[in-house]
Amino acid sequence: MNAPVNTAVNPIGIHDITFATGHHSFALETLAAKHGIDVGKFHKGIGQEVMSQPAADEDIVTMAATAAKRIIDRNGTDGIRTLLFATESGVDQSKSAGVYVHGLLGLPSRVRTIEMKQACYSGVGALQVALGIVARNPQEKVLVVASDVARYDLNSGGEPTQGAAAAAFLVQANPGILAVEPASGVYTYDVQDFWRPNDRHTALVDGKLSIDAYLNAVRGAYDDFIDHGGADFAAIDRFCYHQPFTKMAVKAHMALREHVGLSADKAETAAELETTMHYNRMIGNSYTASVFLALMSLLETESDNLVGKRVGILSYGSGAVAEFFTGTIVDGYQKLLHADEHKKALDSREPLTYDAYRDLHPGTRVADITDYDTPEVTDAPFRFAGVKDHSRIYQRR
């Protein structure tokens, strides 16, 4: 068994956390009506109401920069020597999307910047890397962004689970929001449940296999967590799951309850997770950002005081890698939340008609990219202006 790091002496974790999302929203009610599907399948069956959609001049970089700007505006750049960008919708095969964010935010040059990928898992992978960097030198801070646009083919089973968002958070010693505990359970196995080849904008998925693979990984990661000294199930007060659609979290928690020998009633489980599902239900799948949206939803919509509560966090990335770990909520966390900005980001989205939504969808295949300009749509602080000489052009607004 690994010897746990003593976080009681030097807690490390999330000091500040926020999200940004697309300029547009698309109601699943509209999709259901156009496709002749009972909307109950979306609202109740998969637990989704609305999907965020980026404008033509937004992408993973602009959303990530918008979220990260909020962190920098509040905390400054002192101590930040690493910027980790987690995504599975990368905009370049070589250059890290993080370097574009670094430029847009005007961060100091004495920063290491990299992009990390393993489907939806890499946000939590980046968090673990960040914890390691800060454990080695508690003076350092790490800025992590997890940003994705989830896209499936039009008229496919995955279409109602699309979405877009970026989470940004600061990892440091003596954090103000979540002190991450040392025990962690990890699980990797090679399964072809969901993937996106280089020539496609849209993911390929075996939906039913992906659900089974997720549930299998929950059990595997949890067992490893227990084998590495993790807290008992009964000592965990709240659970946040990766939410490709919110009903998946309910399925996962029921599976975990059964795995530890407890009964698993669907309605009770859904009620138990309710406060963790608000943002994902209104945004859709945001891949790497999704589990952090679940955490923000818990922190910002639960009326109980969460100070001292232990939260179990489960990340799943198809293909597949999962991790289960816990953290405790720090005294004074309420003062650091960005609930008002998040409400504004959700409420101010411009709704899309069905035709406008279809027009914005990029289709399946990645075509040869020639120079183009995008229309000015977003009112976020940063925009993607188009492509010139094969380079992506980003602008501060």
Instruction: Kindly list the residues in this chain that would bind ligand HMG in the complex (CB under 6 A).
Output: 38, 40-41, 44-46, 88, 119-120, 157-158, 161, 194, 205, 207, 210-211, 214, 242, 244-245, 248, 285, 287, 316-318
Which entry of 88, 115, 181, 300 is annotated as an active-site residue? 88
The verdict on whether 240 is a catalytic residue reads no
Please identify, using beta-carbon distances, which residue of 88 and 323 lies nearer to ligand HMG.
88
Please identify, using beta-carbon distances, which residue of 104 and 254 lies nearer to ligand HMG.
254
The verdict on whether 120 is a catalytic residue reads yes
How near is the Cβ of 24 to ligand HMG at its closest, in Å?
21
Please identify, using beta-carbon distances, which residue of 46 and 135 lies nearer to ligand HMG.
46
Residue closest to ligand HMG, measured at CB: 45
- Complete DSSP assignment for 184-217: EEEEE----SEE--TTBSS-EE-HHHHHHHHHHH
Answer yes or no: is 285 a known binding residue.
yes
The CB density around residue 40, as the number of other CB atoms within 10 Å, is: 9
Max CA pair span of the chain:
59
CB 179 within 8 A of CB 118: no
Answer yes or no: is 152 a known binding residue.
yes
Answer yes or no: is 157 a known binding residue.
yes
Structure token digits, residue 287: 């891949």
CA 140 – CA 122 distance, rounded (Å):
21
CB 218 within 8 A of CB 181: no
Which entry of 58, 102, 120, 342 is annotated as an active-site residue? 120
How near is the Cβ of 275 to ligand HMG at its closest, in Å?
20
Whole-Å CA distances, 145 to 48, 78, 84, 106, 131: 24, 17, 6, 16, 14
Q: HSE of 259 in the Cβ direction (CA atoms, 13 Å)?
A: 18
Answer yes or no: is 38 a known binding residue.
yes
Please identify, using beta-carbon distances, which residue of 260 and 270 lies nearer to ligand HMG.
270
How near is the Cβ of 44 to ligand HMG at its closest, in Å?
4
What single DSSP character describes residue 275?
Answer: G
What single DSSP character describes residue 333?
Answer: G
Phi-psi domain of 112 (left: phi exceeds 0; alpha: psi -120 through 50; beta: other): beta
The verdict on whether 390 is a catalytic residue reads no
Please identify, using beta-carbon distances, which residue of 31 and 183 lies nearer to ligand HMG.
31
Annotated binding site for substrate: 157
The catalytic residues are 88, 120, 242
Annotated binding site: 38, 152, 157, 251, 285
Annotated binding site for (3S)-3-hydroxy-3-methylglutaryl-CoA: 38, 152, 251, 285
